[in-house]
Structure 1
């Protein structure tokens, strides 16, 4: 049993009741189908509709747009429970995209899209990464050319989470000259949209139920009122403005995965016999699990503190960078140590620890590579 955590003000009875509801829904509606979703490479979009109707999809959205007006802690609790159930990261991307609209959209854009994002009628994705452009968003080449009362978009994107299943897509495109000032965000409703094409589902080493796709834009025409915020050249600032929250959407699942790996390994070590005795009786096993338990406690303590600061509006960018890189580093370290204790069984994908191992690696890459996080922190030292 891990030491008792400090109880922050966001950790009240209401949010614990919400957590239990989310957990039960996931166990009943998602977990029985997860293996099939892994095999087909995506979670069907309609699956999220029930999650939305229960109020679990975007609880933090304002009541005016169909949400509950809850704090961001509620969304992070949902992400926590999804990660503990090995659900993929699709909804993290959905909430990020929704928050761009909430923070920067015109009132007409909010009324048009947010209610459908809240209830699950729409699933959102963000198209940033390109074949030749990843972390350096200033190098984006996809272009949106103004033509009459709209824009014509040409270009290609890759590694897009929800790219196969989404029906609302926020595209980072160049509406002006070189550099960050030439970027804008344009919102597309993708169903039956001429010129828009989803390429192949990309095969990944992990997160097999999360669809990751190539996207192509060949003369895609959209009305000018789908430019997010209505003003060109604001895209880079809009992307940067949500970073603390986005980093937490990575740090929280890292904490959840660490705790899941620890529990799985404890259960296995109690049952597995080595030289006639439980694996847990061996000193090396006990020392390793003591180390993992310590990491789990420290990571969760850090994440809970960052959550409180986020709710209070006091989470600075540097703390969020630290949470992102350090928690994901610990995640990968812990899962590797735990897998080792499973021996050969840990290398079999039917065992959850093997799936956690493959899924964890990308946590150090997406949402800003950990090396970039460290560089950003160092600039402020």
Structure 2
């Protein structure tokens, strides 16, 4: 009889498919010690190293004695897990030799991370792509979440946890590339849907899924998923997704619009976007395009367009963060006109393009912006500077 130890996701030990930890007296400190030994299984560990990693918060005046007591209790727990009548040496044993502790893994113990790595290695070494896919699928099925996910805040876990997480994603993308080559887009969608249940914030998985949906002719489903993913990523991560993700909506729109010839009315309808209530927020690349376009017009038609640079002094405003900048961007969208545009230049500055503003209107715009930022973004006016420059100036370039 073998014991199967699960570490990818929530920790568990199973025998014949059933958990043997249910109903057992699980002391947090003892099982944390067990997880530590399991992470560094078959390796010699100094008592001082274990104490530094696990017992730094202890108020004990004799941490070595405390460690010996906990290991004694852990040995009792391990012995209680071994099936009655079985040879204990074929399962788990904590030895102490020459000043080192070591968790020895016997032949009747199977650990999911060992199987996980073996499946991936077999898939990488296999010359037949179909067989490689089978091994990759087995490895992906084993990954139920972060390594020892129920033990979230231990520093000693981070390198191991990151290693298996990167290995999982690397294997997932290799598998998807093979599926792409075979044009098995339905499988890609299913695979991504299942993976997103445990990795909802991995942008590339969302992108791979939307690309597969487009290949299947399901543009509406891709657009719906884009809206859902964008909202989730912005809300949960409190930051904008990557430019690659943001730009994917253009690919979705292009895919649905360019499949047949359209008349000018249909083309106009496809080109039009929902008109925002206020100014247009755009990427820096698009802002550069608008800047140069408006400068050409300003030089030719003597239009009164302005470039404005809004700067936040973080030294004066120490609590300023990404949320504070988001608040400012919302203020700009509501305070400026529909014909104006703005873009974030860096973490401290925002560029604004003002269209057709008479000279006497600059102070009015400045006063309105400063008052609204002070009222809604809660930022001191002493921390903000706003500079205006007419576009119709030959020296001004972008």
Bin of the TM-score, shorter chain as denominator length:
under 0.3
Tell me: higher relative CO, structure 1 or 2? Use CA pairs within 8 A at least 6 residues apart: 1
Q: Could you state the TM-score of these two structures normalised by the residue count of structure 1?
A: 0.23
* Bigger radius of gyration: 2
Q: Could you state the TM-score of these two structures normalised by the residue count of structure 2?
A: 0.23
